[in-house]
Chain A
Amino acid sequence: MKKTVLIGALALAGVTAGGAAAATLDDVKARGHLNCGISTGLVGFASQDAQGEWQGFDVAVCRAVAAAIFGDPTAVEFSPVTNKVRFEVLNSGEIDMLSRNTTWTYSRDVDLKLEFAGVNYYDGQGFLVPKELSVTSAKELDGATVCIQSGTTTELNLADFFRVNNISYTPVPIATAAEAQQQYLAGACDVYTTDASGLAATRAAFEDPSAHVILPEIISKEPLGPLVRHGDNEWGDIVRWSLNALIAAEELGVTSANVEELSAGTSNPEINRLLGSEGNLGEMIGLENDWAKNIIMAGGNYGEIFERYIGENTPIGLARGLNAQWTNGGLLYSPPFR
């Protein structure tokens, strides 16, 4: 008798657990908002304005997914998570997706049972040094002290790079980009290494940016993108194609300014399919047919978001580089909406 009760309880727990894992979209719809994990603060990618509104490049992905589901980019609860706990928080189900400058790696994808929905920023690890050190190449950094954020892929890349080149270094572990900047300026380390986008942002905030150089070596590939838990492919599709819609919209010339007009129907069938005036792509994915239109209405296409938060006219001043459309020599390439 006792055994049956126990088995019954276990089965019930299994069913509820399985049910929760399977239909994230239903959970999100029932809840009325998306739970999105973001960085606790990264210049240009996630920060708060004086009114407490989250904004930034990674935040825009969360808003895009919320717009796709609810037609309302504000239907998001942001959970800022640190490097150290981000995967646990996602796996434990406290958030539905993570959009937090996270590098897509083999082991994270396979071993941590996560699913990357694509790449929203192609980055690479670089080095920032004071000009007065007169170093011109990262290979000359033998014996340097290096500021590095712990618990990240940058830490591992750094070890690899120095081992391959047979030179030594002393790591100075730090927690956030702001702390790194302070430590570096205070002379606690000779070199600061992180993704090149972060280096550019850090240098831009210096009082005298010209006194510091970013070395030419980019020692790693850092494809950063949003991710979800393994095991709910429908949900993964929604995040993946929300991101693709941002990228495709830029390629097709759909912007927040003209999306309303274009959604009435155009001579380009792919735009029509994307914006829902033709075909039933929205229905296939379990959303309204104008889901992609809502995404573009909310924050514009990929290029617009890039320009607003991290582009050349912002204090961060990043060039598109690898993040240009494939038609412009970059790596951004959305599979067709068909």
Chain B
Amino acid sequence: MSDTHAQSVAYVRETAIPPAPPPANETGVIKWLRENMFGSVANAIMTILALWAIYAVLSVVLPWVVNGVWDADSIRDCREKLGDQVGACFAVVKERWPQLVFGNYPSEHYGRAIIAFVLLFVALAPILFFELPRKMLWFTGLYPFLAYWLIWGGTLWTPVVALMGVVFAFFAYRLIANRSFFGALIVGLVALLVFWLLFVAPLSNLFAAIVPLRLETVQSREIGGFMINFILGTTCISLSLPLGIALALGRRSNLPIIKTICVLFIEFIRGVPLITLLFVASVMLAYFLPPGANFDLIIRVIIMITLFASAYIAEAIRGGLAALPSGQYEAGDSLGLDYWQQMRLIILPQALKISIPSIVNIAIGLFKDTTLVSIISMFDVLGMIGGPILSSTEWFGVYWELYAFAGVMFFVFCYGISQYSQYLERKLATDHR
């Protein structure tokens, strides 16, 4: 020790102070509150306002939900049971549950619809989650035909023959696939259409005459409720994706005719509200079709919504394509890949990944837009509520309960889709930022 510190050494501590807990307002709940809730005067005011708002909402909503009546015959019965209390009349949801979910689907066939619904998730699983065995994709391919048969009924031979058409088209595609991917695709599609138009009806009738294998037929008009939102949503989204990709590629094509057709189509569809297209499907088409030609309303609506969604998806994917650096295209060229190989192996996977948020946006929007069909007197879940249920003498006047219920149903599914898309984005995050 040097002399310099000789006088001060008496004041120097020889042992370390034992660690003390931080001051009370720098720890735990208080710290968190101080930092996050009352960091400044403005934050404090916002916090108090927000708490007050939450209280105001909950003080109305909670008693309404908690006091809810679940067993009653009619709204008058509900009101009697509630007396002076504020409360919801959930009895209507309970009594009309099958109608809300299935519409006028015959109750003895609910089982079929439920099986189709459950199998939908089995079919979707291998597409949504890459970890699952790839063999499951076989079932995904079969599912549309199976679901059609389960929901609409009729003879099993119709979907089977339709499936044979797909196999036939596949062989047509394979025949040319080596020479030109695009040509093969076109040939395959044409073969499919020709087969379906010419052979499905006669062949399935022929087979059905030998071995019936029938489920009881359900008319399209009987399908309703949340079921129809789901059918329209899933079918239209899955159909509009490939169509959207084709349109996006077409729009960027160097061939003027293809490009013009795609641009015209996209701009026309995007320039018209969906509701207009639905009116065309429901009302106008009947004028153009020969009398007696019974073109199923659901199919008409599916076609219209699919066209609508594909135009938007095409633009989303075009954004993805445009966002790719030109080096990616040049990389493809330098490898000697042709246009379709380049697209399939290099460009589209990246472009699609970039467009995931917009595609999911469109998918969620589309799912919600399916409620618009209630305007053209199809009884989807909202049509069912606004029409037959609210106008029955028992339930005339119930309002919030039903719409809240529909809101919850849509929230569950739309939130699910959005969560999945975030999972997908995290999973595909290859940019290593």
Residues on A with C-beta less than 8 A from B399 are 178, 181-182
Contact check, A48 vs B286: say whether CB atoms are below 8 A apart: no
Cα–Cα distance between A230 and B108 once the two chains are bound (Å): 40
Contact check, B221 vs A92: say whether CB atoms are below 8 A apart: no
Contact check, A80 vs B379: say whether CB atoms are below 8 A apart: yes
User: CB < 8 Å: which of B291, B388, B389, B391 contacts A177?
Assistant: B391
Cα–Cα distance between A314 and B222 once the two chains are bound (Å): 29
Q: Mark A36-59, 1 if CB is under 8 A from B, else 0.
A: 000111111011111110100000
Contact check, B287 vs A92: say whether CB atoms are below 8 A apart: yes
A284 at the binding interface (Cβ < 8 Å): no
Contact check, A47 vs B393: say whether CB atoms are below 8 A apart: yes
In the complex, which residues 66-116 of chain A have their Cβ closer than 8 Å to any Cβ of chain B? Answer: 77, 79-82, 84-85, 88-89, 92-94
A201 at the binding interface (Cβ < 8 Å): yes
Contact check, A176 vs B386: say whether CB atoms are below 8 A apart: yes
CB distance from A86 to the nearest CB of B (A): 9
Contact check, A89 vs B283: say whether CB atoms are below 8 A apart: yes
Residues on B with C-beta less than 8 A from A316 are 393
Contact check, A48 vs B99: say whether CB atoms are below 8 A apart: yes
Candidate in B98, B107, B282, B392 with the most chain A CB atoms within 10 angstroms: B392
Residues on B with C-beta less than 8 A from A79 are 221, 377
Residues on B with C-beta less than 8 A from A50 are 95-96, 98-99
In the complex, which residues 130-188 of chain A have their Cβ closer than 8 Å to any Cβ of chain B? Answer: 175-179, 181-182
A207 at the binding interface (Cβ < 8 Å): yes
Contact check, B291 vs A201: say whether CB atoms are below 8 A apart: no
Q: Mark B280-298, 1 if CB is under 8 A from A, else 0.
A: 0011001100111000000
Q: Which residue of A lies closest to B82 (CB)?
A: A207
Contact check, A178 vs B396: say whether CB atoms are below 8 A apart: yes
Residues on A with C-beta less than 8 A from B132 are none
Q: Mark A17-53, 1 if CB is under 8 A from B, else 0.
A: 1001100000000000000000111111011111110
In the complex, which residues 389-403 of chain B have their Cβ closer than 8 Å to any Cβ of chain A? Answer: 389-393, 396-397, 399
B418 at the binding interface (Cβ < 8 Å): no
Residues on B with C-beta less than 8 A from A40 are 377, 379, 383, 386-388, 391
User: CB < 8 Å: which of A80, A202, A205 contacts B387?
Assistant: A80
Q: Which residue of B lies closest to A177 (CB)?
A: B391
Contact check, B376 vs A16: say whether CB atoms are below 8 A apart: no
Contact check, B291 vs A43: say whether CB atoms are below 8 A apart: no
Residues on B with C-beta less than 8 A from A20 are 291-292
Q: Which residue of B lies closest to A18 (CB)?
A: B291
A13 at the binding interface (Cβ < 8 Å): yes
Query: Interface size on B (CB < 8 Å)?
Result: 37
In the complex, which residues 79-108 of chain B have their Cβ closer than 8 Å to any Cβ of chain A? Answer: 79, 95-96, 98-99, 103-104, 107
Residues on B with C-beta less than 8 A from A84 are 375
Q: Which residue of A lies closest to B400 (CB)?
A: A182
CB distance from A98 to the nearest CB of B (A): 12
Q: Mark B394-433, 1 if CB is under 8 A from A, else 0.
A: 0011010000000000000000000000000000000000
A321 at the binding interface (Cβ < 8 Å): no
Residues on A with C-beta less than 8 A from B383 are 40
A315 at the binding interface (Cβ < 8 Å): yes
Cα–Cα distance between A316 and B393 once the two chains are bound (Å): 8
Contact check, A85 vs B221: say whether CB atoms are below 8 A apart: no
Cα–Cα distance between A84 and B321 once the two chains are bound (Å): 42
Residues on A with C-beta less than 8 A from B103 are 52
A206 at the binding interface (Cβ < 8 Å): yes
Cα–Cα distance between A13 and B289 once the two chains are bound (Å): 11
Q: Mark B49-83, 1 if CB is under 8 A from A, else 0.
A: 00000000000000000000000001110010000
Contact check, A48 vs B389: say whether CB atoms are below 8 A apart: yes
Contact check, B393 vs A92: say whether CB atoms are below 8 A apart: no
Residues on B with C-beta less than 8 A from A205 are 75, 396-397
Residues on A with C-beta less than 8 A from B387 are 40-41, 80, 176
Residues on B with C-beta less than 8 A from A16 are 290-292
User: CB < 8 Å: which of A52, A178, A206 contacts B99?
Assistant: A52
User: CB < 8 Å: which of A39, A51, A54, A88 contacts B283?
Assistant: A88
CB distance from B39 to the nearest CB of A (A): 39
Residues on B with C-beta less than 8 A from A179 are 386
User: CB < 8 Å: which of A46, A51, A92 contacts B391?
Assistant: A46
Residues on A with C-beta less than 8 A from B74 are 315
Apart from A44-B393, A47-B393, A82-B376, what are 9 other A-B pairs with CB-CB below 8 Å? A41-B392, A52-B103, A79-B377, A85-B377, A92-B283, A92-B286, A207-B79, A207-B397, A315-B396
30 contacts between A and B (CB under 8 A): A17-B290, A40-B388, A40-B391, A41-B388, A41-B390, A42-B391, A43-B396, A50-B98, A51-B107, A52-B104, A52-B107, A80-B379, A80-B387, A85-B282, A85-B376, A176-B387, A176-B390, A178-B386, A178-B390, A178-B396, A179-B386, A182-B399, A202-B396, A204-B396, A205-B396, A207-B79, A207-B397, A314-B393, A315-B393, A316-B393
4 A-B pairs with the lowest CB-CB distances in the bound complex, closest first: A41-B391, A48-B388, A41-B387, A178-B390
